[in-house]
Amino acid sequence: MKQRSFVMLKPDAVKRRLAGEVLGRFENRGLKILAAKLLVITPELAKEHYGEHSERPFFKDLVEYITSGPVLATVIEGEECISLIRKMVGATNPQEADLGTIRGDYAIDTGRNIIHASDSETSAAREIALFFEDSEIYDYSMPDEEMIYEEP
């Protein structure tokens, strides 16, 4: 089943000029970018996006980190892509992330783990709606769809 995920390159990824390289991993895998924009997240949006963590001790630092510079917010589509992208992203703590994952290859610290990706269909729908208008999300076909999927 085709799914959409909300994937965000955090301010450390943008400042370290890793955004293109990381997005390229998703493109190379065969996933499709439906929307992308660079923006500085307001504290209000940060608190809403990470609402489930509002009582956690790291919440204040997380809001400061995620609002500290531009992020690259994207919507990515593909077969069962929510879990696929989470596997490509790796563990929350980069020290525990496998080599070959994005966090395992590019990050060291949980508080600077360079990327966010939705963890379920429910959170993907919520997060996409928080960051994008429907008119900013583009549906289009890939010319090599048959090379990516046996049954496109």
Binding mask 36-55 for ligand UDP (x = CB under 6 A): --------------------
User: Which residue in this structure is represented by tokens 């996409």?
Assistant: 128
E-state strands within the chain: 2-9, 32-39, 71-79, 115-117
Taken in order 9, 110, 102, 76, the sign of the CA dihedral is negative
84, 78 Cβ separation under 8 angstroms: yes
State in angstroms the smallest separation of the CB of 135 from ligand UDP.
28
**Candidates 1-9, 34-42, 107-115, 140-148; binding stretch for ligand UDP (CB under 6 A):** 107-115
58 binding ligand UDP? (CB under 6 A): yes
Dist. CA 77–CA 91, nearest whole Å: 21
State in angstroms the smallest separation of the CB of 140 from ligand UDP.
28
List, as residue ranges, the binding site for ATP. Answer: 10, 58, 86, 92, 103, 113
**Interface residues with ligand UDP (CB under 6 A)?**
58, 62, 92, 110-111, 113, 116, 119
